[in-house]
Amino acid sequence: MNAVDIKQPYRASLGTADQLTINRLVPQRGRVMIGAWCLLDHFGPDAPQLRVAGHPHTGLQTVTWLFDGEVRHRDSLGTDTLVHPGEVNVMTAGWGVTHTEYATPGPLHGVQLWAALPADVRFRDPGFEQFASEPVRMGDHEVAVFVGEFGDADSPVQVHSPLCAAEIRFTTDDPLVVDVPESWEFGVLADSGTVQVDDTLVPAGSLGYSAPGRRRLRLRAHANAGEIVRAVVIGGEPFGEDIVGWWNFVGRSHEEIKAWRANWQAGIGAERGGDNPGNFTMTPRTDDEPELVAPALPPVRLRPRR
C-alpha cells in the first residue's frame, strides 16, 4: 500500500487591499499539483470578510465549494449569482475571463480549487456553471460529489481532464472504503477533525497525499455521537504537461505570463504597455472598488511546474 505524505498549509495572500490571507495546501514544495488540480485554498471556519475585487484568469477552471456562508460571484460573462453551501461554482477561464468575489456578512468556510486546462482546450471560450450537489449515503456517511465521480455519486459539471472532488461528512468511526482508479493520485484535506487515510493520521487543516498505485481509498474519522467530521477528497490522473503558474494565470511559458500581466495592467490603467489592452473584459465593480493590480514579476524567469 502506498505511503501517505502529510502536507501542512501555509499562509498565502490573495493580493487584496486589506491583505487577506488564507491557508494554501497546493501548490507547495514537493507537491505542485494533484491531477490537474494546481491550487487548493482552505478558508474558515471563521474566515475574515472576503472582498476580492476584479481580477483576471487564464488557462484554468476555478471551483468554489462552501461549507458555510455565501459568496457573490460576478464575472465578465454577465454572471451575477450567490454560491451557497452545497452548490458548486465552476468558472472556465479559457483564453481570459475576469470576476469578483464578495462574501456576505457572517461566517465563511470552504475551499477553492483551480484546475489547469490541457493544451487542446486552454484557449477555449470562457464559461460558467453552477450545480447543487445532493449528498448520498455511503455506509454511515454522507458524500457530496461536486466534480467528477467518486464512489456511488457524480457531478455533471464539465471538466477537461480526469478529476474528482467530494466533501465527506463522517458521522461514525466506521471506515469508508471507495474503489478508485489505480492510475490516479489523491489528496485528502482534513477539515473539522483528524482523518485517517489507511494507517496515517491527517491532522485537521492538513492534506494527506497518496501517489498512484492504489485501487481503494480507505478513510476513517473518529466522530463521536452527534458529531460530524468533514473532509474533502480531490483526485485525478497525473497531469501530463508542464505548466507555468503565476498570480492568477496558468500558461506554458514565462513569455505568456509576462504578456497577460502587461495586458491586464494596461487594461486597468495601472501601467503602459501590453500588446492587447483589450485582452480582458472588465467585470462590473462592486461598491466601486477598483480592480486588483498585478504584483511585479520576479527578477528571474518563471520556471515550469513539472
Domain ranges of the chain: 9-236
pLDDT in tens, 260-283: 999 999 999 999 999 998 899 999
Q: What are phi and psi of 227, to 5 degrees?
A: -110, 150
Quick check: 147 and 164 in contact, CB under 8 A? yes
pLDDT in tens, 207-252: 999 999 999 999 999 887 678 999 999 999 999 999 999 999 999 9
The side-by-side arrangement of strands in the sheet containing 97-103 is 51-57, 97-103, 71-75, 80-83
Mean pLDDT of 96-124: 96
Instruction: Determine the topology of domain 9-236 in CATH.
Output: Jelly Rolls (2.60.120)
Mean pLDDT of all residues belonging to the chain: 95
Q: Is 140 helix (H, G, I), strand (E, B) or coil?
A: coil
Distance CA(5)–CA(16), nearest Å, equals 32
Distance CA(275)–CA(289), nearest Å, equals 26
Please report, in angstroms and rounded to a whole number, the separation of the first and last CA atoms in the chain: 25
CA angle 147, 106, 110 (to 5 degrees): 20
CA angle 288, 88, 25 (to 5 degrees): 85
- Report CA 45 to chain centroid distance, whole Å: 17
What confidence category does residue 106 fall into, taking pLDDT thresholds of 50, 70 and 90? confident
Looking at the chain, the whole-number percentage of residues with pLDDT higher than 90 is 87
pLDDT in tens, 16-42: 877 788 999 999 998 999 999 999 999
Looking at the chain, the whole-number percentage of residues with pLDDT higher than 70 is 99
Closest CA to 171 of 193, 204, 199, 186: 193
pLDDT in tens, 57-97: 999 999 999 999 999 999 999 999 999 999 999 999 999 99
The b/e string for 49-67 (b: 16+ C-beta within 10 A; e otherwise) is ebbbbbbbbbbbbbbbbbb
For 175-214, give the DSSP string.
-EEEE--TT-EEEEEE-SS-EEETTEEE-TT-EEEE-S--
The reported pLDDT for the residue numbered 1 is 55
Quick check: 62 and 114 in contact, CB under 8 A? yes
Query: Which run of H or of E encompasses 170?
Result: strand 163-170
